[in-house]
Amino acid sequence: MKELFKKNKDTLITLGIVTGAYIVIEILLKAGALSSLFKGLLVPLCAYIILAVSLNLTVGILGELSLGHAGFMCIGAFTSAFFSKITVGVINPGWLRFVFAILIGFFFAGLFGFLIGMPVLRLKGDYLAIVTLAFGEIIKNIINVLYIGRDSKGLHFSIKDSVSLGLEEDGQMLINGAQGITGTPKDSTFTAGFILIMITLVIILNFIKSREGRAVMAIRDNVIAAESVGINVTKYKLLAFSLSAALAGVAGVLYSHNLNSLMATTKNFGYNMSIMILVFVVLGGIGSIRGSVISAIILTLLPELLRGLSTYRMLIYAIVLIAMMLFNWAPSARAFRERMVAKLPFFKKKSAEKEV
């Protein structure tokens, strides 16, 4: 038992922190001590945490730069929102429908991750980054011209405009091009978000420790060496990449079932979002799952907290972002911090422990 605990100490600490945060927030929610803004942010926060953690699998564990993570989120969001919209009232109760929606988002995003990963994962570094960025833009572009409607004759598709669907008078638009999907049932809750975060963390932390995860990290550290000991590079790369994509799809499900109006814009599913998720990962520390969780929280809350600054808000946000990066990752800043910490008696012992 002790052995088991020791083995999974890090995992358990991370899960413990998240559970603790959940319990505290739930208590505060019940006590009515949370502002509307914070309450409204809870579900998006969960989605961003899942995104950051899942991207860390690609960037930190697999060691490949992806700028198209939002594309997978987009697939998860739209497939699941579409599903929920057509099955509202058909599949009851709501939570069952939501579980199906999550599975659908997971499956389709993972499928696309697999399909896109197969040809492009042999690319390296920035070339892979640009291909993933391109993929994300393609998805966004296609969804913006996708029209699906339903009437008594069944489903109608078009990639031109809603007129060419030829819907009957009482037909219903399901996906309306740039207007996206309106009226997705609001199934996402904070508790659902928390459960999904826990599942994601368990999947990823276990994956890292598993045989497959170790193979993936071996590939990251040295492809040729990994190949020479008989690791199937393509297989493991694809596995990690598809898993990362599928989990991004889950985040998309959470995101889309929290909003009444889902549109694919540059801001929410374009390269802007992909970059934003990458910022979470890099700021939190590449490969550090806990770091991703924390930086996703900080960077999502930061612009909301700066609302009081009105027009200077995004300017200050940019400055804080640069400053945090420099403070956290510049070697000179790290050396400076180390010196400062060395002077504090409390940390002396701990930092020494860490070195072991």
Kindly tell me which residue out of 161, 166, 202, 232 binds another protein, with binding defined by CB under 8 A.
161
How far apart CA 79 and CA 85 sit, in angstroms, is: 10
Residue 201 phi, psi (nearest 5): -60, -45
Residue with tokens 């009232």: 89
When asked if residue 251 is in the footprint of another protein (CB under 8 A), the reply is no
Ramachandran assignment for 155, one of left (phi > 0), alpha (psi -120 to 50 degrees), beta (any other) = beta
Kindly tell me which residue out of 96, 202, 341, 348 binds another protein, with binding defined by CB under 8 A.
341
How far apart CA 53 and CA 248 sit, in angstroms, is: 9
Output 58 or 242, the one with its CB closest to another protein.
58
When asked if residue 166 is in the footprint of another protein (CB under 8 A), the reply is no
Kindly tell me which residue out of 28, 96, 99, 115 binds another protein, with binding defined by CB under 8 A.
28
Query: For residues 237 and 223, is the Cβ–Cβ distance under 8 A?
Result: no
Output 7 or 350, the one with its CB closest to another protein.
350
**C-alpha torsion sign, points 308, 311, 314, 320:** negative
How far apart CA 66 and CA 274 sit, in angstroms, is: 8
- The CB-of-34 to another protein minimum distance in angstroms stands at 6
How far apart CA 299 and CA 291 sit, in angstroms, is: 12
Output 210 or 335, the one with its CB closest to another protein.
335
How far apart CA 272 and CA 270 sit, in angstroms, is: 5
Kindly tell me which residue out of 7, 9, 153, 186 binds another protein, with binding defined by CB under 8 A.
186
Residues 105-134 that bind another protein (CB under 8 A): 119-120, 122-124, 126-127, 129-131, 133-134
* Contacts with another protein, 271-310, as mask; x by CB under 8 A: x---x--xx--xxxxx-x-xx--xx-xx--xx-xx-x--x
Kindly tell me which residue out of 8, 39, 107, 209 binds another protein, with binding defined by CB under 8 A.
39
- The CB-of-68 to another protein minimum distance in angstroms stands at 10
The site that binds another protein (CB under 8 A) totals a number of residues, namely: 108
Question: Contact region for another protein (CB under 8 A) — 83-91, 150-158, 196-204, 221-229?
Answer: 221-229
**C-alpha torsion sign, points 119, 121, 122, 127:** positive
Query: For residues 43 and 254, is the Cβ–Cβ distance under 8 A?
Result: yes
When asked if residue 163 is in the footprint of another protein (CB under 8 A), the reply is yes
Output 113 or 180, the one with its CB closest to another protein.
180
Output 191 or 266, the one with its CB closest to another protein.
266
When asked if residue 171 is in the footprint of another protein (CB under 8 A), the reply is no
Ramachandran assignment for 195, one of left (phi > 0), alpha (psi -120 to 50 degrees), beta (any other) = alpha
How far apart CA 44 and CA 61 sit, in angstroms, is: 25
What Å distances lie between residue 20 and 11, 23, 25, CA to CA?
14, 5, 9
Query: For residues 196 and 98, is the Cβ–Cβ distance under 8 A?
Result: no
When asked if residue 49 is in the footprint of another protein (CB under 8 A), the reply is no
When asked if residue 315 is in the footprint of another protein (CB under 8 A), the reply is yes
Kindly tell me which residue out of 76, 110, 149, 180 binds another protein, with binding defined by CB under 8 A.
180
Residues 86-105 that bind another protein (CB under 8 A): none
Query: For residues 275 and 202, is the Cβ–Cβ distance under 8 A?
Result: no
- The CB-of-116 to another protein minimum distance in angstroms stands at 8
